[in-house]
Amino acid sequence: MFVVGLTGGIAAGKTLVSTRLASHGAAHIDADKLAREVVEPGSAGLRAIAERFGPTVLSDDGSLDRAALGSIVFADPDARLALEAITHPAVRQLSQQRMREAVADDASRVVVYDVPLLVESRGAGEFDHVVVVHTPRDERISRLVDLRGMTRADAERRVDAQATDEARLAVADDVVDSSTSIESTLEQTDRLAERLQALARAKVSRQ
């Protein structure tokens, strides 16, 4: 199995890159989607969150009120760490299951694990290759304000709750510069897909 850790700060353009890699045949596993799965109503994860943060983080229907929880954890580093201690082990277990399923019929298939918090929580060592989608901090803040309607203060808080650009770039095997245009980002991703496929085939041939 050849697993690529795909990361980048919020509003960097990871979705564009991951979608393009999938169009080249890669299996795309989204850590954020897995994180939602492990806190679905009735899950052990949701029960643990309610016990730690109280009933105010639950909606009337018993599901997780993400906005309420977000307002707590993005303003309090200790609260964020407590949440991660609940969700990260469950996400890790589910991700490993999905990876095995992705290569069940093709051992040389590239598996792209899209994980925003790779630097903060997963670490680069568990991946065969790390790709960072990079747009500088100030540009990402502007995107959050202009495209998602956040206040600048909220946007800065979201961006600064994640790893710095320097920390992400330090673990990169490849960097996709997503700061210019969509066309440039896609062209870089097409070239990246070819390299990743070659690396995956080479790894499988050695096994």
Q: What is the full per-residue pLDDT of the chain (207 aa) written as tens digits?
A: 999 999 999 999 999 999 999 999 999 999 889 999 999 999 999 999 999 999 999 999 999 999 999 999 988 999 999 998 999 889 888 999 999 999 999 999 999 999 888 888 767 788 999 999 999 999 999 999 998 999 999 999 999 989 999 999 999 999 999 999 999 999 999 999 999 999 999 998 987
Tell me if 26 sits within 8 A of 182, measured CB to CB.
no
The set of residues, in sequence order, having a beta carbon less than 8 Å from that of 49 and lying 6+ positions away, is 39, 57, 64, 69, 83, 86, 87
Structural domain that includes position 165:
2-206
> Phi, psi (5° rounding) for residue 103?
-110, 15
C-alpha 88/C-alpha 111 separation (Å) is 19
Please count the structural domains in the chain.
1
State how beta strands 110-114 and 27-30 pair. parallel
C-alpha 30/C-alpha 114 separation (Å) is 5
Per the listing, tokens 């890669």 go with 26
pLDDT at 116: 85
pLDDT at 23: 97
pLDDT at 121: 72
Burial pattern 99-126, b for ≥16 Cβ within 10 A else e, equals: beebbeeeebbbbbbbbbbbbbbbebee
Count the Cβ atoms, other than its own, within 10 Å of residue 21.
Answer: 25
CATH number of the domain enclosing 13 = 3.40.50.300
pLDDT at 117: 83
Tell me if 2 sits within 8 A of 128, measured CB to CB.
yes
Which H or E run contains 144? helix 137-148
